[in-house]
Amino acid sequence: MILPELTLSLIKPDAVQKGVAGQIIGRFESEGLRVVACKKLWLTTAQARAFYAVHAQRPFYEGLVAFMTEGPIYALILEGEGAVLRNREIMGATDPAKAAPGTLRALFGDGIERNAVHGSDSPENARIETDFFFSQLERF
């Protein structure tokens, strides 16, 4: 039996500025992940701080918040069997220099901070993160 799972993907400001958001969404679709929800938005500083609150004590937190608010992003909910892990595989490692060839971060990331995409790291966090960005009325 196939148990569909949901995960949150963000196309970060660097990738949107490069004009590769469409390619990234197409990659998810070609990998068999279904787009349940999608919107373009520009995070406020307060919203970015809240989304990344788990990293508040890390030295890169302020820089990360500044990066994530420098321009618009896309937020997506992706659905598929094992979607959380599948998306993490498609994204590649946090540091694009260490990401496997062909992964989104290897293709489109510029560095450990400006790494093109976000993906939930567990089903529990996927639930929290999808609810952060989307109401039930925005999911199909």
User: Binder to ligand IDP among 23, 35, 112, 123 (CB under 6 A)?
Assistant: 112
User: Binder to ligand IDP among 70, 79, 113, 138 (CB under 6 A)?
Assistant: 113
Residue 64, interface with ligand IDP (CB under 6 A)? yes
By beta-carbon proximity to Mg ion, the closer residue of 79 and 121 is 121
Residue 35, interface with ligand IDP (CB under 6 A)? no
Two tokens, residue 78: 């992706």
Residue 45, interface with ligand IDP (CB under 6 A)? no
Q: 6 forms bridges with which residues in the sheet?
A: 79
Residue 70, interface with ligand IDP (CB under 6 A)? no
Please give the full DSSP string across 11-78, using - where no structure is assigned. Answer: E-HHHHHHT-HHHHHHHHHHTT-EEEEEEEE---HHHHHHHTGGGTTSTTHHHHHHHHTSS-EEEEEE
Residues engaged in binding ligand IDP (CB under 6 A): 55, 60, 64, 94, 112-113, 115, 118, 121
